[in-house]
Copies of this chain bind each other. A is one copy, B any other.
Amino acid sequence: MANFELTREFLEDLKNTIDSKNEKLAAEKVADLHAADIAEIYDELDIDEARFLHLLLDDEKGADVLVELEEDVRESFLKNLPAETIARQFIEQMDSDDAADIISELPQDVKDEVLSKINDVEQAGDIVDLLNYPEDTAGGLMAKELVAVKMNWNILTSIREIRKQAEEVDDIYNVYVVDDDNILKGIISIKKLLLIPTSESISTIYDPDIISVKVDTPDEEVANIMDKYDLVSIPVVDSIGRLVGRITIDDVVDVIREEAEKDYQMASGISGDVEPSDNVWVLTRARIPWLLIGLFGGILSALVMGQYEGDIMKYAGLALFVPLINAMAGNVGVQSSAIVVQGLANNSLGLETLSKKLFKELSVGFTNGIICSTIIFAYNFFMSDSYSLTITVSIALFSVILFASVFGTFIPLALNRFKIDPALATGPFITTINDITGLFIYLFIGRIMFTII
């Protein structure tokens, strides 16, 4: 069934069917559904219901569903299943990249047992190879399944070979051309393959201008390359240029989504990959670290203000604008750091030097500072009876905006230089530091102004 949408009615109905153990009717209800839709249904079922349903699927569909599940759902689904079932019914039906991903999630002892139960030794070998690569590299993303021809083959041999190899590969986007040592030499598009006359030979029709990645290329960089060059698949080579695998765009779309979500969550003060459907404890655990940073920052702020308690007692007006200074320091810092973090993530920083970037940020801060401090000056000029306060708030706001701009730009760039994820510098972290520094600047200027004016 195309374009399925999971409704509460459908789910109720399916649950009732499962609870009444009506295998035939339950199987019918999900028979035409795509594996991704069935996986979505498992999210809403309890584990026994999901297993009941799973037994009604054929092996291939069952394996596809397993691949589509959220990691935590899959974990509880596979728990206590015999290694033989996992190997024969699930892993053997999967592409090597999915198989390796799922096996890597298993506990060490189950992992080895499952690998030993795989009938096809070549497949087991491919999976073991893939397990060696770190998850966040091209090697960790790639599948071993691909279609390749030798440079010196003629077209008829090649087409026969392509047909044979194609049976093992889910989707074919390109045919790769290698030499006798399996060194990647070029590419033939499917389109060209459809259009060539059979009298040609591979060496005359292939395109040697090929974009590839190395096994150790970081996944974010793979994503940037595929996005930039609008590629649907990209070949992966080892350190001496031998073709070892292929990455397809669907896996890269997941990388792009996850990266963007991670940065967004980090900026919002949420750690770990959480979803609204996660339980209370997971959600709490993802949020408490940043709240503790905020709490700690708040205590530091109280200590800073404590140093100026005398001034605050004398000029209570001073306290009134603490929230304003705080808010502006936080906002400006987050803005500045977000632009840098995003630029680093999608490689759009351009060729500007660090000093040019800081100077530009300083100019933006200067402009915004002038605008905001003029407005607050005008407001206090008419509304407050203390000139000292009016001048203090304006000058402090201007200084705080300038400081927060430069600081918000500098910190993520510095973290990046030291190979620390710059997204760490966004959200609560930068807000907290800017809050405290801004407060200090404000109260310090206040003390001077109230003394001299």
* A contacts, CB < 8 Å to B: 1-3, 6, 8, 11, 32, 34, 36, 43-44, 162-163, 166-167, 169-173, 189-191, 193-195, 209-212, 225-232, 249-250, 253-254, 256-257, 260-261, 263-265, 267-270, 274-277, 280, 283-284, 287-288, 290-292, 294-295, 297-299, 301-302, 305-306, 309, 312-313, 316-317, 319-328, 330-332, 334-335, 337-340, 342-343, 346, 348-352, 357, 360, 363-364, 367-368, 371-372, 375-376, 379, 401, 426-428, 431-432, 435-436, 439
Chain B residues within 8 Å of A276, by CB: 339-340, 342-343, 348-350, 352, 357
Contact, CB under 8 Å: B283 / A364: yes
Contact partner of A348 (CB less than 8 A), chosen from B267, B277, B439, is B277
- The CA of A375 and the CA of B368, in the complex, are separated in Å by 37
Contact partner of A227 (CB less than 8 A), chosen from B232, B257, B291, B339, is B257
> How far apart are A167's CB and chain B's nearest CB, in angstroms?
7
Known: A275-B348, A309-B320. Contact between A209 and B302, CB under 8 A?
no
Known A275-B339, A294-B324, A319-B322; 8 more pairs at CB < 8 Å? A227-B250, A256-B260, A257-B346, A276-B350, A291-B331, A291-B332, A323-B326, A327-B431
Contact, CB under 8 Å: B338 / A321: no
Contact, CB under 8 Å: B232 / A360: no
Contact, CB under 8 Å: A335 / B302: no
Chain B residues within 8 Å of A375, by CB: 292, 295
Q: What are 7 pairs between A and B in contact, CB < 8 Å?
A: A170-B191, A193-B194, A232-B232, A232-B250, A264-B338, A283-B364, A290-B331
Tell me if A's interface is mostly helix, strand, loop or mixed: helix
Smallest Cβ-Cβ distance to A2: which chain B residue: B211
Contact, CB under 8 Å: A284 / B364: yes
Known: A194-B162, A264-B263, A305-B323. Contact between A253 and B256, CB under 8 A?
yes
Chain B residues within 8 Å of A210, by CB: 2
Contact, CB under 8 Å: B270 / A339: yes
